A and B are shown apart, each in its own frame.
Chain A
Amino acid sequence: MSDFLLLAFLFLIAGVAAVPIATALGLGSVLGYLIAGIALSPILLLLEVDVVSIQHFAEFGVVMMLFLVGLELEPKRLWEMRNRLLGLGGLQVGLTAALIAGVLIAFQMDWRIAVAVGLILAMSSTAIVLQTLAEKGLLRGDGGQASFSVLLFQDIAVIPILALVPLLAIPGAHHAGAEDGHGAGMSLVADLAGWQAALVTAGAIAVVIAGGMFLTRPLFRYIAKARLREIFVATALMFVVGIALLMTLVGLSPALGTFLAGVVLANSEYRHELESDIDPFRGLLLGLFFMTVGAAIDFQMLWDDLFPILGLTLAVIGAKALVLLVLARVFALRGSEKFLFGLGLAQAGEFGFVLTSFAVSNLVLPEDMAPRLNLIITLSMMLTPGLFILYERVIRPAFDRPVEREDDEITEKGTAIIAGHGRFGGIVNRMLLAAGYKTTVLDHSAAQLDMLRVFGFNVYYGDASRPDLLHAAGIEEAKLLVVAIDDPAQAVAIVHHVTQNHPHVHIIARARDRHHVYQLYNAGCRDVIRETFDSSVRAGRSAYEALGMHPFEAERLARSFVKADRHALYELAQVWDPEIPETQNPAYVQKVREMNEVMEPGAALGAFRERHERGWTPPSPQDTESDRQRIEAARDGA
């Protein structure tokens, strides 16, 4: 137990120390984690920690990442991507493997070993690339999308490669060692004939898709009714882990399975909630993964063979970048996107580790080659953040002309986020939609959501008082946030959070009463709407009319009242102090007294009455007479 705590503490402290520094320096979190890992490696060595097994565990972060990426991608978009996925991805793996293998054969290496190494190095690092692209907001661009297509293809390609590698075994060598590295020991398909295995595999995929489409909604609705945050998180985790397990059992990539499940759920109202529930786990696991990559560097070997290994690493990156840049040209990526694609994917990846150990155990690779190969893979991953920095600081600025750039058509996050779709937020949403604006609605009433879904609204389940959910709903890109939730304290908390962290967002907040207005104003909202004020004013106006007042006069009097009342509220909000009760706040009491005086029925100069009385008061006969005299006198004098 204490071993576990010590280990957890070591990794946490390394990450907490290194990552903020790295991001502050603009290097990205990945490099921060890698450096933290390197710093940890002597301690881990001393404690005799099995870094590789931690790495296998942490790889689950990649599975979660793919799930999250799937959530962002609607099935329609995936279908649109099919050409790139197969064309770009297939060519990248094929050409890169061929190029590397060709060079190795030219250097007199056995062709079987050469092909295996080529395939191993053709893989890129899904973890590093996706994390970096997402962090820098590059995932939605053309280059980011192309990179993603290739990474997804590689994920899928690992399966056939694993099947292919044993065929490359050097003849005569004894087929020793069980399957290793990839997947659990159990398998549903190991003992089946080929067609049966295929059937089971297809069945598993069908289960994932059908389950995602038909089962998740009732399940999540049921869970949501319990209103227990942690149970929802547990359900989300159960879902992802279950799919990964199923995929492993039938010998498919768990990342592929969760990705598909994500795509199926991309249209679901629970999407943002799932996103924000899984995301912390994804982040922690990937962070751990990057640290293990850093910690796994064998510095002894590196110092012994520094120049050959560095040279080979650079050669690998060069070869991969070459293939990628050629493909970028063929697939017509524009401008700087071409280089993002070319440099971003130029490293070898974590699948390389898996394939290496698998190849060794199948006697395809000589055993002494594996550590050096792993070192090259690791180093190329280490250099990736540098390539991204090169892209961001040097290449993109060179291409960035201030020409009109197409807006991200992919984004389907609304310009307006509406938190709470009840009696209040619902009206706002309908008005915005009627005027053609895009909205994203968050609500935590499952029953309400079902109904809205039926009518085709873009609504999501979730508790809007959580910053991560606002983030998932796209607060960074939103122009407007309407806080229309029932709980007054939560509304204040949201306003406070958003004014502090996203000052560009205009907030309209629903206030329960005067006191709530003060709190919201104090939290930084300048567009506070009292929930029953306008309807009360209308009732007051109806009362005026019912008592015989002319409708237009009733209208004007009501308007004057609104103006005076809002002015008073504004003045009071400024002197209100959350720390002092209103009756003990001298400035507040003073203001109220002043206002009472001018609002009294008899007060001649009150703001309310003055405004009202000054409409269309006819001139007196004296007024008319004095005009006549003045004008005639002027004319006679002329």
Chain B
Amino acid sequence: MARLLHYAAHPSPRTSTANSAMLSRIRGLEGITSLDLYAEYPRYDIDIEDEQQRLLAHDVIVLQFPLFWYSCPALVKEWLDLVWEHGFAYGQGGDRLKGKLLMLAVTTGGPQEAYGAEGYQHYELRTFLTPFEQAARLAQMRFLAPYVLHGALKTEPEAHALGFLRLMTALRDERLDLRAAESADILTHDTLPLMGIN
């Protein structure tokens, strides 16, 4: 069993549909640590020491958030800025996250076809996520393809939320084909590379 750490971050859970559904699906799931970042730090007073200990105590880190202006909500960035210190995540002696897995679970407002040279968002979704990918690389972590829901505002979130539950369970039980997950562009609820009993 892999030790799995899940962060959900949505500044306005009241108006969220997909992210709330995902969170409530995996709430209480055995063997994973799940945190609502905005509930944990409503006043942004992130405890660096606590957070670093939490990271060290797990093998897989999943960050779940809605895409806001092509990036993560502010508190996720704040968390990254403060917790992933030099000497911890990178820089001199900064190899404490080495070998761990980082995975994003993002929802977008725009439809899938909008993300690409032809679409009105003009860039691939992965292009917007390169800061996270590079952060993982600098921290010597493995970066898996993001688990994505496009058009989250007008899609029923149930299938995606169930897929998220399957994904998290598989990560926990080490049944996700990591090689396939690394080489994929994005993962969706119907393209999860699971191994063994499905």
Residues in A lying within 8 Å of B, measured CB to CB: 550-555, 615-621, 624, 627-628, 631-632
Contact of A624 among B15, B42, B110 (CB under 8 A): B110
Contact of A627 among B13, B38, B120 (CB under 8 A): B120
Q: Is the CB of B153 within 8 A of A620?
A: yes
Instruction: Decide: A551 near B15, CB < 8 A? Known: A624-B110, A631-B120.
Output: no
Contact of A619 among B16, B73, B153 (CB under 8 A): B153
**Beta-carbon contacts under 8 Å, B7-51 to A:** 11-16, 36, 38-39, 42-43
Q: Is the CB of B42 within 8 A of A552?
A: yes
Q: Is the CB of B153 within 8 A of A624?
A: yes
A residues in contact with B11, CB < 8 Å = 552, 615-616
0/1 string, B110-153, CB within 8 A of A gives 1: 11001000001000000000000000000000000000000001
Residue of B nearest to A628 (CB): B120
Q: How far is the CA of A550 from the CA of B38 in the complex (A)?
A: 8
Most buried by A among B13, B16, B42: B42
Q: How far is the CA of A554 from the CA of B42 in the complex (A)?
A: 8
With an 8 A cutoff between CB atoms, is B68 at the interface? yes
Q: Is the CB of B68 within 8 A of A616?
A: yes
Q: Is the CB of A551 within 8 A of B38?
A: yes
A residues in contact with B15, CB < 8 Å = 616-618
Residue of B nearest to A558 (CB): B42
Q: How far is the CA of A555 from the CA of B14 in the complex (A)?
A: 14
B residues in contact with A551, CB < 8 Å = 38-39, 42
Instruction: Decide: A624 near B109, CB < 8 A? Known: A550-B38, A551-B39.
Output: yes
List the 6 closest pairs (A to B, CB-CB), nearest first: A631-B120, A552-B38, A616-B12, A555-B42, A551-B42, A552-B42
Residues of chain B at interface, number, CB under 8 A: 20
Q: Is the CB of B114 within 8 A of A628?
A: yes
With an 8 A cutoff between CB atoms, is B54 at the interface? no
With an 8 A cutoff between CB atoms, is B77 at the interface? no
Q: Is the CB of A618 within 8 A of B13?
A: no
B residues in contact with A616, CB < 8 Å = 11-12, 15, 68, 73
Instruction: Decide: A619 near B109, CB < 8 A? Known: A550-B38, A551-B42.
Output: yes
With an 8 A cutoff between CB atoms, is B86 at the interface? no
Known: A554-B42, A555-B43, A628-B110. 18 other contacts (CB 8 A): A550-B36, A550-B38, A551-B38, A551-B42, A552-B11, A552-B13, A553-B13, A555-B42, A615-B11, A616-B12, A616-B15, A618-B16, A618-B109, A620-B153, A621-B153, A624-B110, A624-B111, A624-B153
How distant is A543 from chain B, measured CB to nearest CB, in Å?
14
Q: Is the CB of B42 within 8 A of A621?
A: no
Contact of A550 among B39, B120, B153 (CB under 8 A): B39
Q: How far is the CA of A621 from the CA of B43 in the complex (A)?
A: 32
Q: How far is the CA of A550 from the CA of B75 in the complex (A)?
A: 15
Most buried by A among B15, B36, B68: B15
Q: Is the CB of A552 within 8 A of B153?
A: no
Q: Is the CB of A621 within 8 A of B154?
A: yes
Q: How far is the CA of A204 from the CA of B193 in the complex (A)?
A: 97
Residue of B nearest to A620 (CB): B153
- 9 A-B residue contacts at CB 8 Å? A552-B42, A555-B42, A616-B15, A616-B68, A618-B109, A618-B153, A619-B109, A624-B109, A628-B120
Most buried by B among A551, A552, A553, A617: A552
Residue of B nearest to A559 (CB): B43
B residues in contact with A620, CB < 8 Å = 153
A residues in contact with B42, CB < 8 Å = 551-552, 554-555
How distant is A131 from chain B, measured CB to nearest CB, in Å?
55
Most buried by B among A616, A620, A631: A616
Residue of B nearest to A631 (CB): B120
A residues in contact with B68, CB < 8 Å = 616
Q: How far is the CA of A550 from the CA of B42 in the complex (A)?
A: 9
B residues in contact with A617, CB < 8 Å = 12, 15
How distant is A454 from chain B, measured CB to nearest CB, in Å?
33
How distant is A534 from chain B, measured CB to nearest CB, in Å?
13
Residue of B nearest to A635 (CB): B120
How distant is A193 from chain B, measured CB to nearest CB, in Å?
76
Contact of B13 among A550, A619, A621, A632 (CB under 8 A): A550
How distant is B71 from chain A, measured CB to nearest CB, in Å?
14
How distant is B75 from chain A, measured CB to nearest CB, in Å?
8
A residues in contact with B110, CB < 8 Å = 624, 628
Residue of A nearest to B39 (CB): A551
B residues in contact with A554, CB < 8 Å = 42
How distant is B127 from chain A, measured CB to nearest CB, in Å?
17
B residues in contact with A628, CB < 8 Å = 110, 114, 120
Q: How far is the CA of A314 from the CA of B153 in the complex (A)?
A: 98
Q: How far is the CA of A618 from the CA of B17 in the complex (A)?
A: 10
How distant is A616 from chain B, measured CB to nearest CB, in Å?
4
B residues in contact with A619, CB < 8 Å = 109, 153
A residues in contact with B36, CB < 8 Å = 550
A residues in contact with B14, CB < 8 Å = 550, 553
A residues in contact with B12, CB < 8 Å = 553, 615-617
Q: How far is the CA of A555 from the CA of B13 in the complex (A)?
A: 13
Q: How far is the CA of A620 from the CA of B154 in the complex (A)?
A: 9
Q: Is the CB of B120 within 8 A of A632?
A: yes
A residues in contact with B153, CB < 8 Å = 618-621, 624
Q: How far is the CA of A631 from the CA of B73 in the complex (A)?
A: 25
Q: How far is the CA of A624 from the CA of B151 in the complex (A)?
A: 9
Most buried by B among A555, A620, A624, A627: A624
How distant is A306 from chain B, measured CB to nearest CB, in Å?
82
Q: How far is the CA of A616 from the CA of B38 in the complex (A)?
A: 13
Q: How far is the CA of A551 from the CA of B11 in the complex (A)?
A: 10
Q: How far is the CA of A551 from the CA of B15 in the complex (A)?
A: 15
Q: How far is the CA of A619 from the CA of B153 in the complex (A)?
A: 8
Most buried by B among A553, A619, A632: A553
**Beta-carbon contacts under 8 Å, B153-183 to A:** 153-154
How distant is A267 from chain B, measured CB to nearest CB, in Å?
40
Q: How far is the CA of A552 from the CA of B114 in the complex (A)?
A: 31
A residues in contact with B38, CB < 8 Å = 550-552
Residue of A nearest to B68 (CB): A616
How distant is A614 from chain B, measured CB to nearest CB, in Å?
10
B residues in contact with A624, CB < 8 Å = 109-111, 153
How distant is A542 from chain B, measured CB to nearest CB, in Å?
12
Q: How far is the CA of A621 from the CA of B114 in the complex (A)?
A: 14
0/1 string, B83-112, CB within 8 A of A gives 1: 000000000000000000000000001110
Q: How far is the CA of A227 from the CA of B109 in the complex (A)?
A: 71
How distant is B45 from chain A, measured CB to nearest CB, in Å?
11
Q: How far is the CA of A621 from the CA of B110 in the complex (A)?
A: 9
Residue of A nearest to B10 (CB): A616
Q: How far is the CA of A175 from the CA of B4 in the complex (A)?
A: 108
B residues in contact with A552, CB < 8 Å = 11, 13, 38-39, 42
Residue of A nearest to B113 (CB): A628
**Beta-carbon contacts under 8 Å, B44-91 to A:** 68, 73
Q: How far is the CA of A447 from the CA of B14 in the complex (A)?
A: 53
B residues in contact with A632, CB < 8 Å = 120
Residue of B nearest to A633 (CB): B120
Q: How far is the CA of A298 from the CA of B114 in the complex (A)?
A: 107
Residue of A nearest to B110 (CB): A624
Most buried by A among B11, B68, B73, B111: B11
How distant is A310 from chain B, measured CB to nearest CB, in Å?
77
Residue of A nearest to B154 (CB): A621
How distant is A40 from chain B, measured CB to nearest CB, in Å?
70
